[in-house]
Structure 1
């Protein structure tokens, strides 16, 4: 496959500094190339299966970035937690933390200890067993009544608030968040639930 958009400064720069007349799909980076360039070339090699006789043979109408991405990642089943994490009520930081939790990537004490961080891996709330995601959100007797925010406060400041106090803080934050939201975009079901929960009047 030949490079397209030959009037592009980027294409001219790549041709001059790396390819030097070689075919892009046949090109192999040198060992002293930057890691960014080697990564680009690795992606190119992984995509080479989509080309037949130098032509993109995956989708009708030729190559498009969206079509290439869809082919590259393949067909994946829809995860069950998608609506719980990516919804219009969640704050961006909560969405991000939910995404990390779903991928078991939260920095729990057990995970940090596994990566070599010098830290006690016991749960900072109950102090009984190793602090894993499953324990924090499902098994810990204390965390069943509070949230991740309080865990961080206990871990970082060595201070634990009574669960009822944490619940009051959470409810007040929720009321503030909901009251600031435009009610015209709420569904009737959402509005009825919020009234039942005494978050709005």
Structure 2
């Protein structure tokens, strides 16, 4: 303790910064009362009680408990309960989950192996908010969370699996131990815990810290990803995203990724197209099977069972809207798998983006009209709806002029009266 106080004094003399003993505490674990009294007398500190918070996270002497992480759960729930968060669409909720909620979790996940109860709670909050706009479970999600956590190229939404993301973040500590950088905590661990033993064969004893044993457990999980001291993915340097992709379950890449998630389409249209492509909407054919609906007929035409194929491809109303929109664009497409037909055309990327954006807007507006027909038994004229779709696409193009738009694309858009 004397050496530590001397170090503080030397730092104070060199920097001009002084330690405030009234705001400083000493924390003890496994120290007898006599030694504790001597340390407090020499330092002038008061004894602090565990656990305590440092930089917003709990510091404990033992195992991290679910109750210690309650502040993390409360912060996520408070962000969701804001008035703005409740009014967001599916696409808006997705952005909030990606940019805010999972970021809160990442800060904690980079320091601790979180308890499974906390991981499950974080996942359930994000899942319930994405599908219901709240924190409570009300209905079965349209698509499994495992699928949602897949990359967009593999048919998911690109969210992170909290458990695997936690392991990948702690894996950075493992990499630091393997490469032995000039870090104070690494040198301390080597002298106190390992005592010269090789890192890849070291086994922690039962009396070591719970947090340290968890770090060693993560080492055992990702050890196959190392060759000597180099990570097998990339240029040999460890990255959290690289380890996460190595840990997660791989899926086959979908062929509609570039069409649905193009840079010009409105996010809410892309999200709806993603649901349609996965046939996840709660249409009447599904509701009728569960005795939720009295019949399974299409809400718009009432001639055939309301399936995804019928509502967005076979329904006369949908065909008329799509035909008018494509006619204005000077394009002829027939049959199903329209997005595949567009991808196969030898068009510029700008023209493909515009055409795909129009298709996604058609699907979204047809879904809106379907819901309106179910509630009010009324739909607007297909020609009027097609005009609204073209206006929305035009506005979207003007706002999001992509670099992929060439001079020829601009000339084409002028001819079809889109610019």
Match of 1:15 in 2: 63
Alpha-carbon contact 2:275-2:281 (below 8 Å) kept:
yes
Match of 1:129 in 2: 304
Contact 1:110/1:121 (8 A) holds in 2: yes
Counterpart selection for 1:174 from 372, 389, 393: 393
Aligned partner (choices 216, 219, 225) of residue 59 of structure 1:
225
1:161 matches 2:380: yes
TM superposition score normalised by structure 1: 0.67
Q: Does 1:112 align with 2:287?
A: yes
Deviation of 1:140 after TM superposition, in Å, equals: 1.6
Structure 1 match to 2:417 = 198
Query: Which has the larger share of helix?
Result: 2
Aligned to 2:267: 92
* TM-score with structure 2 setting the length: 0.36
Structure 1: 5+ residue stretches without partners: 1-6, 19-24
Query: What is the CA–CA distance in structure 1 between the aligned matches of 2:294 and 2:62, rounded to whole Å?
Result: 47
SS at match of 1:15: coil
| 1:84-115 CA distance string (max 9 Å, x none) | 11011111100110111111112322233345
Structure 2: runs of 5 or more not aligned? 1-53, 67-112, 125-162, 168-216, 232-237, 322-361
* Corresponding residue SS for 2:65: helix
Aligned equivalents of 1:11, 1:112: Cα separation in 2: 50
Q: Aligned partners of 2:62 and 2:255: how far apart in 1?
A: 43
Report the 3-state secondary structure (helix = DSSP H, G, I; strand = E; otherwise coil) of the residue aligned with 1:17. Answer: coil
Which structure's relative contact order is higher, taking Cα pairs within 8 Å and 6+ residues apart? 2
Deviations, residues 99-148 of structure 1 (Å, cap 9, x unaligned): 11111112322233345533532101211121111111222222212342
CA gap 1:143/1:53 in 2 versus in 1, 3 angstroms: closer
The equivalent of 1:36 in structure 2 is: 120
Distance 1:17 1:35, change over 3 A: closer
Following the alignment from structure 1 to structure 2, what is the Cα–Cα distance between the partners of residues 17 and 140? 55
In structure 2, the residue matched to 1:188 is 407
Task: Name the SS of the counterpart of 1:159 in structure 2.
Answer: coil
Equivalent residue for 1:22?
Answer: none
Secondary structure of residue in 1 paired with 2:276: helix
CA distance in 2, matches of 1:162, 1:52: 60
Offset, 1:197: 1.9
Separation in structure 2 between the aligned mates of residue 73 and residue 184 of structure 1, nearest angstrom: 33
Q: Check the 8 A contact 2:264/2:400 in 1, yes or no.
A: no
Hey, what's the Cα distance between the residues in 1 that align with 2:379 and 2:62? 57
Distance across 1 between alignment mates of 2:395 and 2:291:
40
Q: Deviation of residue 181 (structure 1)?
A: 4.2
